[in-house]
């Protein structure tokens, strides 16, 4: 994550033998299983993941094909992939905590911060909780080579309630492009350019899923903190997919290009017939765009060409969407909680 925050607290040294303690939360009931994505096979937890923190706040259900992460006053929880990957398609069906969730952060992301402390790469879906009656916010971030000053953040208002049911959130990362999907709709594409250089993520990363306390910044710049009277806050993950190129932690696998081709990753890129759906989503639901943030970037970043821009009249000079804006909040990596 960007300066001043991370997608999880500092992680302990990962152990593939980390104990997973089943947390029984039957009182909350079970949401219906998500519909699998076409053409990819979900993994059971022990096929590709390990718990990284949270003690008993991680629960395995449905023979390890569903994971519950809980946040209470003692800790949050998280898990990570057992392998590092250089490129791939990574997906999870996620159901977010309902009711009052201000200050709660749920993240689904790729990172190598534990390996490259000062030059890490990261690709995020970051879900920011809100007060009762207000929607969750979804933010995507792209960091390369430690460029936390330029996280390339975008934020969206979802066209559904993500606490009612499961929805798929997916990241495609290839040597040439990064695409974020909500369900099977692409919502953002970052195409590699020469000008981006090393700020295009290019080092092996692990996949993470976490829930944690972001009280200091997550909701209106920290004005609304986690209220533990509503704990535990529970996020559920299902339909866990990794279709990627695993590499040796010691360095890049020279066969990664061949692996990328075998995995058919470019075939998952946005086809022409889906570009209209992506454009429609972006026009209707983008609430912050770094490409339109002239306060933070007086000179737009290289990839923010005409084809990447939405109509300028939609945004204020700080990159926030103009209409529907009631309240200007605190700053966090350029994006703000604009509506409460």
Annotation marks residue 303 as catalytic: no
Which residue range is the domain that position 176 belongs to?
A: 39-314
CA distance 300 to 178: 19
Determine whether 260 is an active site residue: no
- Domain membership flag for residue 335: no
For residue 165, is it within any domain? yes
Tokens of 332: 């966090």
Residue 327 lies in a domain: no
> Considering the domain boundaries, does residue 326 fall inside one?
no
Q: How many domains does the chain have?
A: 1
CA distances from 253 to 141, 177, 197 (A): 26, 19, 20
Among 122, 153, 154, 236, the active-site one is 122
Query: Which residue in 30, 73, 117, 126 is the catalytic one?
Result: 126
User: Is 103 inside a domain boundary?
Assistant: yes
- CA neighbor of 283 nearest in space, from 318, 317, 316, 308: 308
CATH number at residue 92: 2.60.120.200
Cα Rg for the chain, rounded, in angstroms? 19
Q: Which has the closest alpha carbon to 154: 175, 184, 185, 123?
A: 123
Residue-by-residue pLDDT tens, the chain, 340 positions: 443 444 444 433 333 333 333 333 333 445 555 565 666 789 999 999 999 999 899 999 999 999 999 999 999 999 999 999 999 999 999 999 998 899 999 999 999 999 888 899 999 999 999 888 888 999 999 999 987 677 799 999 999 999 999 999 999 999 999 999 999 899 999 999 898 888 999 999 999 999 999 888 777 676 788 999 999 999 999 999 999 889 876 655 555 667 776 667 777 777 777 889 999 999 999 999 999 999 999 988 888 877 667 888 899 999 999 865 444 333 334 444 443 3
Are the CB atoms for 256 and 247 separated by under 8 Å?
yes
């Amino acid at each position: 994550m960007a300066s001043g925050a991370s997608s999880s607290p500092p992680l302990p040294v990962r152990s593939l033998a980390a104990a997973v303690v089943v947390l029984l939360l039957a009182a909350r009931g079970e949401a219906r299983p998500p519909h699998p994505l076409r053409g990819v096979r979900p993994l059971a937890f022990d096929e590709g993941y390990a718990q990284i923190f949270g003690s008993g706040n991680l629960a395995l259900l449905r023979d390890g094909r569903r994971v519950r992460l809980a946040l209470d006053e003692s800790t949050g929880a998280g898990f990570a992939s057992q392998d590092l990957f250089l490129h791939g398609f990574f997906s999870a069906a996620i159901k977010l905590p309902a009711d009052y969730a201000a200050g709660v952060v749920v993240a689904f992301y790729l990172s190598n911060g534990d390996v490259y402390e000062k030059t890490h790469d990261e690709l995020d879906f970051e879900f920011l909780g809100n007060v009762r009656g207000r929607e969750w916010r979804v933010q995507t971030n792209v960091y390369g080579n430690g460029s936390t000053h330029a996280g390339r953040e975008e934020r969206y208002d979802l066209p559904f309630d993500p606490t009612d049911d499961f929805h798929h959130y997916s990241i495609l990362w290839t040597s040439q492009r990064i695409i974020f999907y909500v369900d099977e709709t692409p919502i953002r594409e970052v195409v590699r350019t020469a000008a981006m250089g090393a700020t295009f993520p290019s080092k092996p990363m692990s996949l993470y899923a976490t829930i944690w306390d972001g009280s200091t910044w997550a909701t209106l710049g920290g004005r609304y903190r986690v209220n533990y009277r509503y704990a535990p806050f529970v996020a559920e993950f299902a339909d866990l997919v990794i279709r990627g190129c695993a590499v040796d932690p010691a360095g890049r696998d020279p066969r990664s290009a061949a692996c990328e081709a075998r995995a058919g990753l470019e075939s998952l890129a946005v086809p022409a017939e889906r570009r209209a759906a992506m454009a429609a989503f972006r026009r209707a639901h983008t609430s912050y765009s770094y490409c339109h943030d002239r306060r933070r970037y007086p000179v737009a970043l290289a990839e923010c060409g005409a084809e990447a821009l939405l109509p300028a009249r939609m945004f204020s000079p700080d990159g926030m969407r103009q209409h529907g804006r009631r309240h200007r909040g605190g700053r966090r990596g350029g994006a703000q909680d604009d509506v409460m």
